[in-house]
Amino acid sequence: MRIRFKKWARPEIAASQICMDDSKAMRGKWRTDANFARPEQPFFVELGCGKGGWISQAALQHPENNYLALDIKSEMLGMANRKVLAAFERAGKAPDNVRLSIINIEHISEVLCPQDGVDRIYINFCNPWPKESHKKRRLTHPRQLGQYASVLRGELHFKTDDPDLFNESIVYFEESGWSILTKTFDLHADEPADNIRTEHENMFTEMGKKIHFLIAAPPAGAFGKPAPSFDDELREQRRLKAEAAETD
């Protein structure tokens, strides 16, 4: 979806008490330096928060958790900032358990490390990138899962309307050693009372599409280990190819 340029977004993000403008400087310090009112609380991260429909409700409904919502686009983060601030103001509460930041999640290891101890990751309706040559940009691609596993102590929750993305993501999780704990192809058939609908979830539901949902846990022992870099992956693939060529 093409989002119109919003002149107000960057200045509002820069002025907002809940937006962190240097997310790389926060690496390893989210729990201590993000000024959460209760830093000892579980730390949940939403990847690709869009206009902030989900994060504004989740953070307000769950003051017992701290939340960080990330997006690559300032227009999106600007809208999420407005939505979160408005929701907390309406409720007469301080937004002291929620932070927003602009990053490219493909490089999430530059922003999060094991010291940040992420308790849960949410991926809500990430871009499906259907073309074969673009699939590595998917937020559920194995090269992403390696980065998440290194910082994640708990579970990853994933929702999408896209059956191909969902089915291929199941393979990504399994091949990367993750365990699928829960899986449904129709979340709304028996919608959990605590499900928080996102903007895209509402839109796709109105279009008659089914919502797919899973919960996955990272491989045992992966937490705290450095995420494999893309260069390492490439080297390993070349080594295996060379080995296979030698034995032919």
Ligand X SMILES: C[S@@+](CC[C@H](N)C(=O)[O-])C[C@H]1O[C@@H](n2cnc3c(N)ncnc32)[C@H](O)[C@@H]1O
- 106 near ligand X, judged by CB under 6 A: yes
- 69 near ligand X, judged by CB under 6 A: no
Shorter beta-carbon distance to ligand X: residue 191 or 236: 191
User: Of 135-194, which residues contact ligand X (CB under 6 A)?
Assistant: none
The continuous run of DSSP H or E covering 240 comes out as: helix 230-247
- 127 near ligand X, judged by CB under 6 A: yes
Quote the CA–CA distance of 172 and 82 in Å, as a whole number.
Answer: 35
Which one among 27, 73, 135, 153 touches ligand X, defined by CB under 6 A? 73
Contact 140, 212 (CB under 8 A): no
Reduced 3-state DSSP string for 89-100: HHHCCCCCCEEE
Which one among 76, 85, 113, 216 touches ligand X, defined by CB under 6 A? 76
DSSP 122: E
Which one among 67, 200, 212, 222 touches ligand X, defined by CB under 6 A? 200
- 104 near ligand X, judged by CB under 6 A: yes
Which one among 30, 43, 67, 125 touches ligand X, defined by CB under 6 A? 125
The number of beta carbons lying within 10 Å of the beta carbon of residue 93 is: 13
Which one among 81, 124, 140, 169 touches ligand X, defined by CB under 6 A? 124
Q: How far is the CB of 125 from ligand X (least distance, A)?
A: 4
User: Of 41-60, which residues contact ligand X (CB under 6 A)?
Assistant: 48-50, 53
**Side-chain half-sphere of 178: how many Cα atoms within 13 Å?**
32
Q: How far is the CB of 142 from ligand X (least distance, A)?
A: 15
Shorter beta-carbon distance to ligand X: residue 104 or 195: 104
Contact 14, 21 (CB under 8 A): yes
Pick left, alpha or beta for residue 233 (phi over 0 → left; psi -120 to 50 → alpha; otherwise beta): alpha
If DSSP codes are grouped into helix, strand and coil, which group holds residue 47?
strand
Residue in this structure with the two tokens 């002291």, named with its chain if needed = 96
Q: Which residues bind ligand X (CB under 6 A)?
A: 48-50, 53, 70-73, 76, 104-106, 124-127, 198-201
